[in-house]
Amino acid sequence: MTVTVVGTPGDRRVRLFAAACESEPRVVAWTDVLRGAGLGIGPGDVVRIDSPGEDAAADALLRGPGDPARVGGGARWYATFTAGLDRLAATGARLLNDPGEIAVMFDKRRCHALLAAAGVPVPPALPRVTSHAELRERMDAAGVRRVFVKAAHGSSAAGVVALQTAPGGRIRAVTSVAMGPDGPHNSLRVSVYESERDVARLIDVLAPDGLHVEGWMPKASIGGRPLDLRVVVIAGEATHAVVRTSPHPMTNLHLGGARGDLGAVRDALGERGWRRALEVCEAAAACFPRSLMVGVDLLVGVGWRRFAVGEANAFGDLLPGLTGLPGTSAEGLDTYTAQVRAALMGNAQVCTT
Ligand SMILES: Nc1ncnc2c1ncn2[C@@H]1O[C@H](COP(=O)(O)OP(=O)(O)O)[C@@H](O)[C@H]1O
Ligand SMILES: [Mg+2]
């Protein structure tokens, strides 16, 4: 089976996927998809859609020209990205992951609503907010003091704000957004804002591109570091898991998060808790039945009893060197090889559009 992968030629994701394939895959650049260039993809082709991220040229096409680290442009990014997905859907190729489902996973509001409607545990969402003032009103009305505010179309912690308030007007926002002199930009360093004015500026910068707001779930921790799990579900089976621990409320690995000790987490959860954790992730992935792979961010509450899905990631399988859980069909295989095997064995719901 020769596969075409849509991504950024030469980047890590494409190379790792290519290494997992029996024969070298064809690579189609996202920039060509977005520019409307000829793709040479048609019925009979098998296509893996990967991330357009980490490519300044693709970003310029998606959001418009400018500093790739700048904040904002999420709404335009999403409109262009989904138009590109529609183009891929229209090729008639066999797609390993469904463009419509990818589009839902890149809208945190729709993703949350879909999971909630399916009975998958998720943090409670606040009604839609369009400004800082409205956010504060909604938090007061709901009696909620701690929330996660997320740019609706963000990823890699871009536009994520962990916000808490306390009586007496105290407020504290932790975020990867740096409000620098040349405008707000996404940073690898976490910033803290503790004045209402600064937090208002931050939220109002993010709001025009759409916000998803949900309750902040206090996370279980190991060695004083809060953690969550990234669980990769392939063809319906939770096959790969990593623990992400961080000194920050966001556990994303590029923000100072680190892989933690899965054995310690399994011990803390106990056998039943661990099984339940994987079941929740499989239930979340089942909301995307036409996606060969879904990367689930699983929040584990303090006390190790409660779970909630933080989000589902369409491109959440970049976990180099991680092999599948013992006893699963991906045992000993990395995330890419496991997907190639699942697709070859036909147990994947490879979708035809
Ligand atoms: N409701 C929540 N309560 C506690 N922590 C959360 C919540 N939502 C997200 N997080 C943390 O913030 C990080 C980033 O949020 P996420 O929704 O995964 O956005 P991104 O797409 O940027 O990764 C997650 O890795 C998780 O650890
Ligand atoms: Mg995430």
Contact criterion met (CB below 8 Å) for 51 and 106: no
Nearest bound ligand to the CA of residue 152? 1
Backbone dihedral angles phi then psi of residue 137, each to the nearest 5 degrees: -60, -45
| Cβ-based neighbour number of residue 143 at 10 Å | 6
pLDDT, one tens digit per residue, over 265-298 is 999 999 999 999 999 999 999 999 999 999 999 9
Same domain, 80 and 182: no
Identify the residue whose C-alpha is closest to ligand 1 atom 8: 310
Same domain, 272 and 325: yes
Query: 344 falls in which pLDDT band (50, 70, 90)?
Result: confident
124 domain residue, yes or no? no
Q: State the average pLDDT over residues 169-197.
A: 94
Q: How far is the CA of 297 from the centre of ligand 1 (A)?
A: 8
Same domain, 269 and 230: yes
Tokens 């000993």 belong to 332
Question: Which residue among 160, 177, 319 is best mutated to probe the pocket of ligand 1, counting the most ligand atoms within 8 A of its Cβ?
Answer: 160
Rounded to the nearest angstrom, the gap between the alpha carbon of residue 243 and the centroid of all alpha carbons in its chain is 15
Question: Which residue among 300, 311, 318 is best mutated to probe the pocket of ligand 1, counting the most ligand atoms within 8 A of its Cβ?
Answer: 311
Q: Which amino acid is at 127?
A: P
Identify the residue whose C-alpha is closest to ligand 1 atom 25: 251
The CATH number of residue 284's host domain is: 3.30.470.20
Same domain, 211 and 240: no
Q: How far is the CA of 156 from the centre of ligand 2 (A)?
A: 6
Same domain, 57 and 141: no
Rounded to the nearest angstrom, the gap between the alpha carbon of residue 119 and the centroid of all alpha carbons in its chain is 20
Q: How far is the CA of 339 from the centre of ligand 2 (A)?
A: 21
Same domain, 206 and 234: no
Same domain, 191 and 225: no
Q: Is the pLDDT of residue 350 over 60?
A: no
Residue where one domain finishes, among candidates 182, 215, 248:
215
pLDDT at residue 228, rounded to an integer: 97
Across the chain, mean pLDDT equals 95
Identify the residue whose C-alpha is closest to ligand 1 atom 12: 250
Q: How far is the CA of 242 from the centre of ligand 1 (A)?
A: 15
CA distance 113 to 120: 10
Question: Which residue among 78, 211, 228 is best mutated to probe the pocket of ligand 1, counting the most ligand atoms within 8 A of its Cβ?
Answer: 228
Same domain, 202 and 239: no
pLDDT at residue 161, rounded to an integer: 98
C-alpha distances in angstroms, 243 versus 53, 91, 144, 324? 23, 38, 28, 14
Contact criterion met (CB below 8 Å) for 190 and 77: no
Which of 184, 123, 182 lies closest to 149 in space, CA to CA? 123
Nearest bound ligand to the CA of residue 176? 1
Q: How far is the CA of 117 from the centre of ligand 2 (A)?
A: 20
| Percent residues over pLDDT 70 in the chain | 97
pLDDT at residue 328, rounded to an integer: 98
Q: Which atom of ligand 1 is nearest to the CA of 217?
A: 3
Query: 254 falls in which pLDDT band (50, 70, 90)?
Result: confident
Enumerate the H helices of the chain as residue ranges. 12-20, 30-35, 56-63, 74-89, 99-105, 108-117, 132-142, 196-206, 262-286, 335-344
Burial code of 30-52, b = ≥16 C-beta within 10 A, e = fewer?
A: bbbbbeeeebebeeebbbbbbbb
Q: Which atom of ligand 1 is nearest to the CA of 160?
A: 22
DSSP-derived secondary structure for 148-159: EEEETT--TTTT
DSSP classification of residue 207: G
Contact criterion met (CB below 8 Å) for 126 and 149: no
pLDDT at residue 346, rounded to an integer: 65
Same domain, 205 and 244: no
Nearest bound ligand to the CA of residue 175? 1
CA distance 169 to 162: 17
169 domain residue, yes or no? yes
DSSP-derived secondary structure for 42-89: -TT-EEEE----S-HHHHHHHH-SS-TTB---HHHHHHHHHHHHHHHH
CA distance 258 to 251: 8
104 domain residue, yes or no? no
207 domain residue, yes or no? yes
Same domain, 54 and 11: yes
Its pTM stands at 0.96
Structural domain boundaries, residue 266: 219-348
pLDDT at residue 352, rounded to an integer: 37
Strand partners, 49: 6
Pocket of ligand 1 from Cβ distances under 6 Å: 123, 148, 150, 154-157, 160, 214-217, 219, 228, 249-252, 297, 299, 310-311
Q: Is the pLDDT of residue 351 over 80?
A: no
Contact criterion met (CB below 8 Å) for 330 and 234: yes
Residue where one domain finishes, among candidates 215, 250, 270:
215
Q: State the average pLDDT over residues 25-35.
A: 98
Q: How many domains does the chain have?
A: 3
Q: How far is the CA of 175 from the centre of ligand 2 (A)?
A: 14
CA distance 265 to 242: 10
Identify the residue whose C-alpha is closest to ligand 1 atom 2: 216
275 domain residue, yes or no? yes
Token pair belonging to 109 = 């509001």
pLDDT, one tens digit per residue, over 42-72 is 999 999 999 999 899 999 999 999 999 999 9
Residue where one domain finishes, among candidates 190, 215, 240:
215
Given the DSSP bridges, would you call strands 26-29 and 3-7 parallel, antiparallel or unpaired? parallel
pLDDT, one tens digit per residue, over 120-144 is 999 999 999 999 999 999 999 999 9
Q: Which atom of ligand 1 is nearest to the CA of 297?
A: 18
